[in-house]
Chains A and B, each alone.
Chain A
Amino acid sequence: DGGITQSPKYLFRKEGQNVTLSCEQNLNHDAMYWYRQDPGQGLRLIYYSQIVNDFQKGDIAEGYSVSREKKESFPLTVTSAQKNPTAFYLCASSTLTGQGSKQPQHFGDGTRLSIL
């Protein structure tokens, strides 16, 4: 079955620690995205990547870092600089089909990060 796999489902971070959230897709999608979801806040874009070895900051990139070494993988690192990391993190992917059309984003089932 094609889809987006996020792991782990739950993650705990100690003070001063960096943690990495995994996102893998087998949909052959070009673009991948990371969102943060807080209660009552909706989805906020952290980073996105449209092509391997390239990525752009979203609205709330501070305290986060990403890499895109392979088309199917887009890991997110929550660094110790992110002072309020407790949230539900969602990864998404989509096909890019040029200016005239657009394909919707499909989501994984998220990783819930908490502070110890």
Chain B
Amino acid sequence: QKEVEQDPGPLSVPEGAIVSLNCTYSNSAFQYFMWYRQYSRKGPELLMYTYSSGNKEDGRFTAQVDKSSKYISLFIRDSQPSDSATYLCAMTETGYSTLTFGKGTMLLVSP
């Protein structure tokens, strides 16, 4: 079983839709969770960073962590064509400096 699973997509939605992106993981020691957005031929850009369980909101983005289910989500409200990118989840344990990444989900938002 892979440590972090993420559906590669592509996920195609119309402009204005609510998008849900998800990752599941197997290591119960993961405590820190990140979402990165990566445009084609660019480096990943940090979107959201959460510690342990709960929700975090930043503008149109909401990150949710459910440690009991080993499941994290990123919601994008009022999606825009400029949100079209690959979204990577990443996570790590306390005391570790290295991250474990999902393989990324490609999102396509059509006008």
Find A110's partner among B41, B45, B94, B102 (CB 8 Å cutoff): B41
How would you classify the secondary structure of chain B's contact residues: helix, strand, loop or mixed?
A: loop
Residues 47-100 of B contacting A (Cβ, < 8 Å)? 49, 51, 88, 90, 92, 94-95, 97-99
Most chain A CB neighbours (cut-off 10 Å) among B44, B45, B51, B102: B44
How would you classify the secondary structure of chain A's contact residues: helix, strand, loop or mixed?
A: strand
Q: Is B101's CB within 8 Å of the partner chain A?
A: yes
**A108 and B43: CB pair below 8 A?**
yes
**A42 and B43: CB pair below 8 A?**
no
**Chain A interface size range:** 20 to 34
Q: Is B108's CB within 8 Å of the partner chain A?
A: no
B74 to chain A, nearest CB (A): 14
A37 to chain B, nearest CB (A): 9
Contacts of B103 in A (CB 8 A): 40-42
